Amino acid sequence: MGLTIALYGFQVGVTGREAQRLPASIEMMTPGPGDQVLQQSQIFVDFVAGYEASLVIDGIELTTTRLDELTSQGNSLEPGQQVEIPPTAIYDPGNFTISFTPQQGAPIESFSQGEHTATVTYWKIEDGPTKARSFKWTFDAD
């Protein structure tokens, strides 16, 4: 009887992508729906190739900075020189990711304790933002 219950549990148990109910365009994200995070935790969404995105957290539309624009602003970088990352959402076109880390000077300096809502709006680069879709989820901060 116990073995039957265990086998049934494995068959109906939902984990990973299925539990998060991610769209096919999103490969992975952190935090996932319902996750608990620290107040300074990074929001990170990784897309399949060919997508661009923007982020809204708790109703605040975050300015998005493209990583390639930071390194191509006419400034020649010396080997090992650091690039200053602004306190905005960062889109990396080489990896098709968008991320945001709460920090001083950012629209969200830390996540207060409790539930937060995030929405990622994403579109195929070739189609542009007029054909965007979105994915909304909640997470909790300790």
At 67, which CATH number?
2.60.40.1220
Tens digits of residue pLDDT in 11-35: 544 444 455 679 999 999 999 999 9
3, part of any domain? no
Model's pTM, two decimal places?
A: 0.80
Tens digits of residue pLDDT in 101-142: 999 999 999 999 999 999 999 999 999 999 999 999 999 999
SS3 call for 127: coil
Residue 63 structural domain: 17-141
112, part of any domain? yes
Reading the block at residue 60, the tokens are 């605040």
